[in-house]
Amino acid sequence: MKILIELPTWLGDSVMVTPAIENLTHHFKDSEVTLIGSLASVEVLKNHPNVHKVLIIDKSYLSIYKFAKNLGKFEQFFSFRSSFRSKILKSLINSNQKYQFSRHKYQDKHQVEKYNNFINDCINQNFPAKNLIIYQAKKLLTTNKRKVVGINPGATYGSSKRWYPEEFAQVAVGLSSDYDVIIFGGQDEVNLALNIEKLLIKKGIKNYKNLAGKTTIEELVIKISSLDLFITADSGPMHLAASFQIPTVSIFGPTNFNETSQWKLEKSIVVKKNLECQPCMKRTCPLKHHNCMKLIKASDVLKAAQSIY
């Protein structure tokens, strides 16, 4: 059976969709899957054993028609996106059966469960949502004599999700006697990572690497899978760490941890403040004080990190 899957746009959502895809490919055991989506989404899932082809979608409306017509015919089409553009794409796909996720229909559950319930409804099953799973083409062969902690200050959704570089740096300094430090980040987070690096240098810390803006998605997967501890904002790499069962301290502010916290990770601690304005789900703080992040201190995160083992 030929199956076409449109993945969520964001890295984290693409990781959270993996239990649903596992159930789908288990149900259709001999399926040949084509994945379409953003660069981040297809790169992180391209090594799934059922995936035969991956294609990156151009966001332009003008290109959708040509893109859809060149895909060919499929028995099943599943879109994990609910956007208007995806509705247009669905109408153009040549498939016997076509399904599209609705964010209005699936609510008040963890995002993993939302995606999984969508697939169960499509194929009339009741499969449980199991662990996140990312298939790797290769693994990092480490010769580290010391443990390694990853510091991930970035968060794509907006500035309101970002904790402060000064606090991240204090956490890195506090852990540097027991761990070598790796700073992660995408191209848009290079300056944020540099601010942390400058503070580490000022404190005389030398056992660190700044990889912000220097890794492909595949390299990011490999590096995160080899960590001993991860300190992160609510982000895509946070969910990658969960897929490899990396002990994690995650820092939550404006987003709903009940919906996007790490899924089925045994050693996971969420650091957050229980303010009346949380979760606002806004890209920037509507009240202008950003207390959901400002009130979290490095000492809170270090305490969580020390207790996670």
Do 163 and 64 reside in the same domain of the chain? no
The residue count for the chain: 309
Q: Do 174 and 280 fall into the same domain?
A: yes
CB atoms within 10 A of CB 49: 8
The reply to whether 109 and 212 lie within a common domain is: no
**How many angstroms separate the CA atoms of 45 and 221, rounded?**
11
Q: What is the mean pLDDT of each run of 10 residues along the chain (309 residues)?
A: 97 98 96 97 97 93 90 97 95 97 95 98 98 86 82 82 94 97 95 97 97 96 96 96 98 94 96 95 93 97 94
Whether 129 is covered by a domain: the verdict is: no
Residues 51 and 154 in one domain: no
In a domain, 157, yes or no: yes
pLDDT at residue number 145: 77
Is 271 in contact with 250 (CB distance < 8 Å)? yes
Q: Which of 62, 90, 123 delimits the end of a domain?
A: 123
User: Domain tally for the chain?
Assistant: 2
Backbone angles phi, psi at 100, to 5 degrees: -135, 130
Residues 6+ apart with CB under 8 A from 260: 12, 16, 110, 111, 234
In a domain, 53, yes or no: yes
Query: Is 16 a domain residue?
Result: yes
Which of 123, 156, 173 is the C-terminal boundary of a domain?
Answer: 123
Residue 128 within a domain: no
Amino acid at 171: V
At 95 the pLDDT is: 97
* Structural domain of 107: 2-123
- Integer angstrom CA distances of residue 106 from 11, 52, 112, 116, 235: 20, 29, 11, 10, 21
The CATH number covering residue 249 comes to 3.40.50.2000
Residue 44 shares a structural domain with residue 115: yes
In the prediction, which pLDDT does 220 show? 96
Instruction: Please indicate, yes or no, if residue 132 is contained in any of the structural domains.
Output: no
Q: Are residues 269 and 250 in contact, defined by beta-carbon separation less than 8 angstroms? A: yes
Q: Hunting for tokens 């540099």 — which residue is that?
A: 194
Q: Specify the pLDDT at position 137.
A: 74
Do 212 and 273 belong to one domain?
yes
Q: Torsion-angle region of residue 232: left (phi > 0), alpha (psi -120 to 50) or beta? A: beta
pLDDT of the residue at 86:
95
Q: Is residue 107 located within the same domain as residue 155?
A: no
Q: Return the structure tokens found at 88.
A: 């247009």
Q: Does the residue 133 lie in any domain? A: no
pTM of the model: 0.95
Sequence-separated contacts (24+) of 256-260 with Cβ below 8 Å:
256/281, 258/110, 259/109, 259/110, 259/111, 259/114, 260/12, 260/16, 260/110, 260/111, 260/234
Residue 237's SS3 state is helix
Partners of residue 149 on adjacent β-strands: 181, 229
Residues 117 and 166 in one domain: no
Same structural domain for residues 15 and 115? yes
Same domain, yes or no, for 30 and 69?
yes
Same domain, 284 and 154: yes
Task: Examine the domain organization and report whether 12 and 50 are in the same domain.
Answer: yes
Residue 208 lies in a domain: yes
